[in-house]
Structure 1
Amino acid sequence: MRRTSSIDVSWPDGRKGAMRFDARARDLVTPRSAPAVVAAEDWYVARVQADRTIAAIEAGPDRPNVGRLAGERGGGKLRAVLTEVVPEERDGATPLYLILDDFSGVSLIAGWAWSQWDPGWLAQMRARMEDPAMAQAFKKRENVCIGHAPGASAFDLDKRAGEPIAATPAPDLRHPQDPEGWHRFTRQEHAGMRRARRVDVWRDGGLIHIDSAFQDSGSAADGGRTALHEYSLAATADPTSLEVLSIEATPRVLPFVECPSATLNLPRLIGTPLPQMREKVLAELPGVAGCTHLNDALRALAEAPALLRRLDAQA
């Protein structure tokens, strides 16, 4: 069973205009001896203001309640709003819930996409830090995650002078010999940000196996893509209790040297039932004990039981 998702962010009216979010997610079952079957597929399109407020949003198929999110702002409180507005999506671990839950993280970092198009982006950021209000806002990022611990390299812009942040080439996630492996992405011909996920779940040797990947990338002026964050995860769980038996994260692309050390705290999650993973990650890996983007990748493991149910239904 494979779940893939993507949130593509663009600026149709230019850099100072509103953002457009094109979000898609799909569950695909691959039987041993039959063609792949789409078990579920959801989407939403949103117009988002620069302050991360949702100006308008539409989702489908047949999700009129999602329109009630208009006026809400991306941030820590949005997930509580999702529980109130679309509880059935969270309870059912639907593809739609994954891309709604990802809204806060994507809206926070989307502006990084412009760093791959504007050579003066970092210099402009440094100049803005001379504004006391901006400097104070930057200071408030301390302790948000291990990459923003006090004294971390994230706060030393001079060490990154003249260099685009995390300009790591990112090959196409879609394999030409596996055309059904991913759902369809939008085309990003100008500045654009994309969060893409893949979660594979299967049974073997009396265990539940999970292999997943998480990537934040931006379009590049040369037509390629560059990555800002990328992790891969591997986990096993007990098929009866659903408790996590093993878990390993591989940092692949991260912006700061401190970020990978968050993986050292993963043993704290051993024994956690998969359905409780969202809450457990927030409780065990808060602040400098975790990496914001690793936590996002880990929290999505809570959806594995729903994927298993869909897998069993097609068996």
Structure 2
Amino acid sequence: MVLPLAAASAAPLPGPVERTPDRAPGSARRTSSVDMLRPGGLGDPRLLVRATARDVLTGADGDVRVADTARLDAEVRYDGTRELVALRSEPARPGTAGLVGRSVASGFRAVADATLAPGDGGGVLALLLDDLPVALVIAGYAHALTKELPPGAGRFRPPAGLCSGWREGGTMVSALEAGGPMPLRPGPDAPAVSRADDPAAWHDTPVLPPLAMRRRRRIDVEPGTAGIRVDAMFRDTYADPDGRETVLHEYELRAVLDPAGLAVREIVAEPRVLPAPECPFAAESVLRLIGTPVDAVAEQVRRDLRGPSTCTHLNDLLRSLTGVPGLLARRGA
């Protein structure tokens, strides 16, 4: 469902997905979670990032095989420097030691890509390293929801015009320009993504502690006679001081790729939960990717999907489509 621009802000969103879909025979599934933890409270200038990702392959007979896993543990100074203080990955990569001391901001992803071993590109470890900069952005919402400013960083405020929800004249920007707080409220309760009837549906995740945030992603890839079907989603959640986990952002994404060249033939984004009434305007931006091979999607997103017609979080989901060729290769192997 792509909402018309004129109706997007008025149309109620459907809310978070209640159930993780079945794994289709012959498919590949990638799941990831990035936890942004504040064990010292929101006034502590340390952000701990705990991230996990996994690829599972489902055989034609329904058998499951884990094809790849990765874990990342990082500590970042959550102040004006955004300095990466510590980093450990599984599997270990010697080059990642050179990332310590760098700012997890513009340019970090390009340097992180250069640390990966041959064969890591498009894999789960690459996905987790790629998520570090956006983790710092998402972590800021905990401050916005509690109205507690981060140490040394001033008021949490992305630049106007960054995305659809932060457009000039929009709800968020107008409220801050009027001197008020960011107009954010807790979202709906987060449904479970795990399934008792399918232990392989998601990798294990611990209970999210109070004041923490989590980004979950899922990508399913299923070859078929009409093309390669991709079903993906992401969900950002926040655990309040009482431990209640609520949804801040959630999008679903469905696409069909040509088998030859893996170009995007069809693509639809469905906003499920978003914080501002202008946010759903960004759903139509995905149509610009029609005709683009998935291994070129990340570059096109960086180059063309900018400004108030887009969503930075939806863009991150789109960029993760670069992992589709690797999932297909593992399935073929």
TM-score by length of 1: 0.87
When the two chains are superposed, the root-mean-square deviation of aligned CA atoms in Å is 2.3
What is the distance in 1 between the residues matched to 2:119 and 2:185?
A: 35
What is the distance in 2 between the residues matched to 1:89 and 1:293?
A: 26
**Structure 1 residue corresponding to 2:225, chosen from 202, 205, 227:** 205
What is the distance in 1 between the residues matched to 2:66 and 2:249?
A: 28
The corresponding residue for 2:6 is: none
Q: How does 1:209-224 map to 2 (within 5 A)?
A: 209-224=229-244
The corresponding residue for 2:109 is: 79
Q: Is the 8 A contact 1:89 1:97 kept in 2?
A: no
Q: Is the 8 A contact 2:93 2:116 kept in 1?
A: no
Give yes or no for the alignment of 1:229 onto 2:278: no
What is the distance in 2 between the residues matched to 1:271 and 1:166?
A: 38
What is the distance in 2 between the residues matched to 1:150 and 1:157?
A: 11
2:238 maps to a residue whose letter is G
What is the distance in 1 between the residues matched to 2:35 and 2:300?
A: 28
Give yes or no for the alignment of 1:4 onto 2:31: yes
Any unmatched runs of 5+ in structure 2? 1-27
The corresponding residue for 2:22 is: none
Compared CA separation, residues 234 and 34, structure 1 to 2 (3 A) = closer
Q: What percentage of residue pairs aligned between the two structures are identical?
A: 36
Which one has more relative contact order, counting CA pairs under 8 Å at least 6 apart? 2
Q: Is the 8 A contact 2:184 2:275 kept in 1?
A: no
The corresponding residue for 1:156 is: 174
What is the distance in 1 between the residues matched to 2:87 and 2:299?
A: 27
**Normalized per residue, which structure has more helix?**
1
**Structure 1 residue corresponding to 2:291, chosen from 271, 285, 288:** 271
**Counterpart secondary structure, 1:168:** coil
TM-score by length of 2: 0.83
Question: Offset of 1:261 from its aligned partner?
Answer: 0.8
The corresponding residue for 2:87 is: 57
2:172 maps to a residue whose letter is A
What is the distance in 2 between the residues matched to 1:73 and 1:183?
A: 30
1:101 maps to a residue whose letter is D
The corresponding residue for 1:192 is: 212
The corresponding residue for 1:112 is: 141
The corresponding residue for 1:144 is: 162
Compared CA separation, residues 258 and 34, structure 1 to 2 (3 A) = closer
Give yes or no for the alignment of 1:281 onto 2:301: yes
**Structure 2 residue corresponding to 1:94, chosen from 104, 123, 130:** 123
Question: Offset of 1:88 from its aligned partner?
Answer: 3.6
What is the distance in 2 between the residues matched to 1:162 and 1:24?
A: 31
**Structure 2 residue corresponding to 1:252, chosen from 272, 276, 285:** 272
| Matched positions, count | 299
Question: Offset of 1:60 from its aligned partner?
Answer: 1.0
Question: Offset of 1:272 from its aligned partner?
Answer: 0.1
What is the distance in 1 between the residues matched to 2:168 and 2:184?
A: 23
Q: Is the 8 A contact 1:89 1:96 kept in 2?
A: no
What is the distance in 1 between the residues matched to 2:292 and 2:106?
A: 23
Any unmatched runs of 5+ in structure 1? none
Question: Offset of 1:190 from its aligned partner?
Answer: 2.1
Q: Is the 8 A contact 1:244 1:270 kept in 2?
A: yes
Residue deviations 1:127-163 (CA, integer Å, cap 9, x gap): x9xxxx957x84x601111211111111133798696
2:41 maps to a residue whose letter is G
